[in-house]
Amino acid sequence: MATLLTPAETRRRVEASLRRRYRTEWLFRFYGLVSVFIGVGFLVVLFTTIIGNGYGAFRQSFIQLEIQFDPAVIDPEGTRNPDVLASADYAQLIKTSLRTLFPAAEDRAARRELNALVSAGGAYRLQEMVVADPGILGQTRELWLPADDEVNLFVKGRRAAHDSASGAQTQRLSDQQIGWIGQLESTRRLQQRFNTIFFTGGDSREPELAGIWGATKGSFFMLLVTLLLSFPLGVAAAIYLEEFAPRSWLVDVIEVNINNLAAVPSIVFGLLGLAVFINFFGMPRSAPLVGGLVLTLMTLPVIIIASRAAIKSVPPSVREAALGVGASKMQMVFHHVLPLALPGMMTGAIIGMARALGESAPLLMIGMVAFVVDVPSGPMSPSTALPVQIYLWADSPERAFVELTSAAIMVLLAFLLVMNAAAVWLRSRFERRW
Amino acid sequence: MRLSTLALILTAMVLAAFYLGRRRAVAIGGGLGPGRRLHSLPKYYGYYTALWCLLPGLALLLAWTAFSDTIITSRVVESLPGALRNQPEAQLGLTLNDIRNLAAGQMVDESRRAEFAVAADLYNDLRSASQRLLSGLIIAVSFFGFAMAWLRLRPQFRARNHVELAIQVALIAASLVAILTTLGILLSVTFEAIRFFRQVPFADFLFGLSWSPQTAIRADQVGSSGAFGAVPLFAGTLLISGIALVVAVPIGLMIAIYLSEYARPALRRVVKPVLEVLAGIPTVVYGYFAALTVAPVIRQLGDSVGLNVASESALGAGLVMGIMIIPFVSSLSDDVINAVPQSMRDGSYALGATKSETIKRVILRAALPGIVGGVLLAASRAIGETMIVVMAAVLSANLTANPLESVTTVTVQIVTLLVGDQEFDSPKTLAAFALGLVLFVVTLILNIIALQVVRRYREQYD
């Protein structure tokens, strides 16, 4: 047994160790602060990277051309037949216009380089105009047509300071093309304008023609299906489990099961959707309806858990008062508990929807990664979703898609921000302290 | 009659049933005034008749749509000439598909059109006959249900109790959806996995060291057999999740400790929402960041110190995944640390311990079970995470423990095997379901243990 120390000796030992102990204390606190900074710092880096990469995509290079809608090219026989109008060679109009601008481009190779300045989507624009209004034939219009993505990158890259490292990579244009770009700019025929295509277009192989409207609409239909199914089902399940369920093994199983379902990897829900909805029930692949069903099963546990918490927070006195004046149990729940718990349930539902909006892994399983050019018209037409579109663009080899991917991420994050802000607002507006 | 028209008619009938039921209740109960002799409020009699109008028709509709196609198809098969009817199963399926397409007015191979025309006509006839019959039956059944309910109304009839019973049944059904989902996952994945294990022995799958699922189309091609040893995938998954946990657990834990024990309220108010933002960012964004920003940086760093780093190294994916689960770890540990009673802290301070000594020797030990539970939940998240690894890891299996090399994971393989064209009999597609089964079982076990641990811990201090 150790000898007892005198008080003076104890005090000496403690004081000798204090310096070391205080240093450990300081270090521990410092580690904590560093961890907080790592977490917050990462978020800052992530956002600056994405915004830095993506803000450029909201502006795009357009070239102003004087297009003559020559009937001899579009409709040589003068039939005005819509089929003839739709299948005419509109690229020829653009080529003609470019040649009048730069008559010096004589030989084939030079002309090919010249034509490459304007996006292939320009011809579609012209086609749409003519089909919508055949009366335009024979007229001449000044039009802003999207420039090719290489031109776009070149103009933006030069403007964003002479970054020599990336500058070397961006030299995909010939000196002659760069000369033309300079001439177009000096006559103000090449300008940066707001990129409406990005917000109104579907997917495309050409970066300058690709937009997120198709994917956004797909996500919208999916969330609509998810909300319509998961909110009523989730609230009903929560009401039963909180208010009616007797204590029995079956209810215990349901409870454990719901908690576990909330932690099952999302890709497993995708496997379920593939095996049950698509293979067993024969539903179409790539349809927002199936995506919505899969996301419903995924968000259901989240909504049930949030709704149960909301019901639990309604004080028992409300229930007792309702029962006391003669309400039946069902009337007590639907007339008194449910209205008081609804804001909390809606908050949970919005958070669940936000999670569903950002989810992509299960959608890969049910074929929503297809290359879909058309904007979907309903929950049965093939489409992608916003996060899946990001995944698809991130995999695309063209460099211009980097910018588009970041811009699409910015849009997705903006949606999520709005939804979460709505949830926070709802909570602060209707939250009641009992 | 189209389904939408039918739905419209049914809705109108239900509304009418409600109105008529309520009106009859008022009439037989002696008006709405104080002298009323009704058991329930008049609207409950309306709900009662409306339910009896709606439910039988709905049940009939569901049963009909479930069985009618099978019956029609078998009638069509019977009508086919013998040569077509006696084809093998798969061939017959193709033939039926052609007939359906032809019936729907789509293009079918010219040469076979004549052969199928009769069957397609029959198919269309049967379908429209079935539609007409169904519409008539539903309207009849709905009316019959309504009439029965309407005739049963008496002043002392307990309409509210009947309606409430129906609502309660609906509530129970809603809470069973969760069970059905789990059952659906288990059954569908197990079923396909069993088909896989019929072709590839279970032990070969679980303990095999080589993974190359590309089965050749012709038997004489090189590597036609395909190899389904999943050990490299498990190793890759463990490696990446291990890196993620090594990043996330210390940082997440220290954040939780700092915020709950040291930080001033002002800092807490700022940092907590920021971490919630980190938790709310979609995983596809993390994947993009890992592939485009983190991986090249790691590669350059490795090059500058003379290390050979793969361009899609496990380290990059693991680091980003670790950042992703930091908020998860920190919020769970925060709950757990706050649940430790204040008296334990006070006791430690009274003995002269510093703050960090109290945290390390008292709080963390008391909170250990809860923290372990949180880490297990985080691990199950990391194992099941898909998008980050799909975008920042590689496809080829590589059995290694070196974080600088590239590896593949279970989730990456599931995605690559199932995206794109697929045939549902090849072991290549079925292997994805076997991997899914393993993933589901492993994460389920982790979750159950973690939830048990956390729950028992909570009960200890409540």
Contact assignment for B443 to A240 by CB distance below 8 Å: no
- Mean pLDDT per block of 10 residues along chain B (462 residues) reads 81 93 86 76 91 91 84 81 72 75 68 72 85 89 92 88 93 91 91 88 86 63 67 93 95 94 90 88 93 89 85 90 93 88 93 92 90 92 92 83 87 86 72 92 91 79 67
Contact assignment for A253 to B330 by CB distance below 8 Å: no
**Max CA separation in chain B (angstroms):** 97
Q: Are B448 and B392 in contact (CB under 8 A)?
A: no
| Chain B CB contacts of A43 below 8 Å | 274, 277-278
- Tell me how far apart the alpha carbons of residues A27 and A412 are, in angstroms, rounded to a whole number: 40
Tell whether A422 is within 8 A of chain B (Cβ).
Answer: no
Residue A72 has pLDDT above 90, yes or no: no
Q: How confident is the model at residue A167, as a pLDDT?
A: 45
- Tell me how far apart the alpha carbons of residues A272 and B197 are, in angstroms, rounded to a whole number: 19
Contact assignment for A264 to B444 by CB distance below 8 Å: yes
| Chain B CB contacts of A361 below 8 Å | 283, 386-387, 390, 411, 415
Tokens of A401: 């898609």
Best mutation target among A268, A347, A351, A420 (most B Cβ atoms within 10 Å) is A268
Tokens of A371: 């290359």
Q: How confident is the model at residue B207, as a pLDDT?
A: 87
Burial B137-173 (b: 16+ CB within 10 A, else e): ebbebbeebbeebbeebeeebebbebbbeebeeebbe
Contact assignment for B384 to A268 by CB distance below 8 Å: yes
Mean of the per-residue pLDDT values of chain A: 86
Contact assignment for B387 to A391 by CB distance below 8 Å: yes
Other beta carbons within 10 Å of A115: 16
- Tell me how far apart the alpha carbons of residues A306 and A203 are, in angstroms, rounded to a whole number: 36
Residue range A343-354: average pLDDT? 92
| Chain B CB contacts of A335 below 8 Å | none
Q: Give me the half-sphere count of Cα atoms (radius 13 Å) on the Cβ side of residue B324.
A: 31
Query: Which of A53-67, A138-152, A412-426, B417-431 is predicted with the least confidence, judged by mean pLDDT?
Result: B417-431
Looking only at the bridges linking them, the beta strands covering A59-68 and A190-194 are antiparallel
Q: For residue A168, count CB atoms less than 10 angstroms from its CB and return exposed for 0-12, middle for 13-18, buried for 19 or more.
A: exposed
Tokens of A118: 């304007």
Contact assignment for B258 to A39 by CB distance below 8 Å: no
Other beta carbons within 10 Å of B306: 6
Contact assignment for A21 to B275 by CB distance below 8 Å: no
Q: Are A117 and A180 in contact (CB under 8 A)?
A: yes
- Tell me how far apart the alpha carbons of residues A200 and A196 are, in angstroms, rounded to a whole number: 6
Contact assignment for B178 to A261 by CB distance below 8 Å: yes
**CA dihedral (A34, A38, A43, A47) positive or negative:** positive
Residue A91 has pLDDT above 70, yes or no: yes
| Minimum Cα–Cα distance from A236: chain B residue | B171
Best mutation target among B181, B376, B433, B440 (most A Cβ atoms within 10 Å) is B181
- Tell me how far apart the alpha carbons of residues B278 and B280 are, in angstroms, rounded to a whole number: 5
Residue carrying the six token digits 């209205």: A339
In the three-class reduction of DSSP (H, G, I as helix; E, B as strand; rest coil), residue A141 is classed as strand
Contacts of residue A192, Cβ cutoff 8 Å, sequence gap at least 6: A59, A60, A61, A62, A155, A156
Question: What are the tens digits of pLDDT across the range A125-154?
Answer: 888 888 888 777 778 888 888 888 888 888
Question: What are the tens digits of pLDDT across the range A155-171?
Answer: 777 654 444 444 444 45
Q: How confident is the model at residue A166, as a pLDDT?
A: 46
Tell whether A228 is within 8 A of chain B (Cβ).
Answer: no
Q: How many CB pairs under 8 A join A and B?
A: 247
Q: How confident is the model at residue A161, as a pLDDT?
A: 43
Residue range A202-225: average pLDDT? 89
Contact assignment for A265 to B274 by CB distance below 8 Å: no
Q: What is the dihedral of CA A21, A27, A33, A34, to 10 degrees?
A: -160
Distances (CA, A) of A392 to A33, A356, B390: 38, 18, 12
Tokens of B252: 């997440």
Q: How confident is the model at residue A244, as a pLDDT?
A: 92
Distances (CA, A) of B54 to A242, B140, B153, B177: 28, 12, 17, 22
- A99 min Cα distance to partner chain B (Å): 40
Indicate the pTM of the whole model: 0.87
| Minimum Cα–Cα distance from A386: chain B residue | B284
Q: Are A390 and B288 in contact (CB under 8 A)?
A: yes
* Closest of B404, B386, B406, B383 to residue B396, by C-alpha: B406
The domains located in chain B, with CATH, are: 3-157 (no CATH), 227-461 (1.10.3720.10)
* Window 60-89 of A, Cβ < 8 Å to B: none
Best mutation target among A10, A36, A228, A244 (most B Cβ atoms within 10 Å) is A36
Q: Are A213 and A224 in contact (CB under 8 A)?
A: no
Q: Are B248 and B388 in contact (CB under 8 A)?
A: no
Best mutation target among A46, A257, A279 (most B Cβ atoms within 10 Å) is A46
Question: What are the tens digits of pLDDT across the range A293-324?
Answer: 999 999 999 999 999 999 999 999 999 999 99
Contact assignment for B189 to A275 by CB distance below 8 Å: yes
Distances (CA, A) of B63 to B60, B145, B171, B183: 5, 17, 22, 22
| Chain A CB contacts of B178 below 8 Å | 237, 254, 257-258, 261, 300-301, 304
Contact assignment for B178 to A360 by CB distance below 8 Å: no
Residue range A28-52: average pLDDT? 93
Q: Give me the half-sphere count of Cα atoms (radius 13 Å) on the Cβ side of residue A354.
A: 24
In the three-class reduction of DSSP (H, G, I as helix; E, B as strand; rest coil), residue A206 is classed as coil
Q: Are A312 and A239 in contact (CB under 8 A)?
A: no
| Chain B CB contacts of A407 below 8 Å | none
Best mutation target among A23, A30, A42, A212 (most B Cβ atoms within 10 Å) is A42
- B454 min Cα distance to partner chain A (Å): 12
In the three-class reduction of DSSP (H, G, I as helix; E, B as strand; rest coil), residue A146 is classed as strand
- Tell me how far apart the alpha carbons of residues B427 and B200 are, in angstroms, rounded to a whole number: 8
The domains located in chain A, with CATH, are: 60-194 (no CATH), 213-430 (1.10.3720.10)
- Tell me how far apart the alpha carbons of residues B44 and B324 are, in angstroms, rounded to a whole number: 52
**Residue A214 has what DSSP assignment?**
H
Contact assignment for B254 to A272 by CB distance below 8 Å: no
- Tell me how far apart the alpha carbons of residues A125 and A209 are, in angstroms, rounded to a whole number: 11
The more confidently predicted of residues A227 and B455 is A227
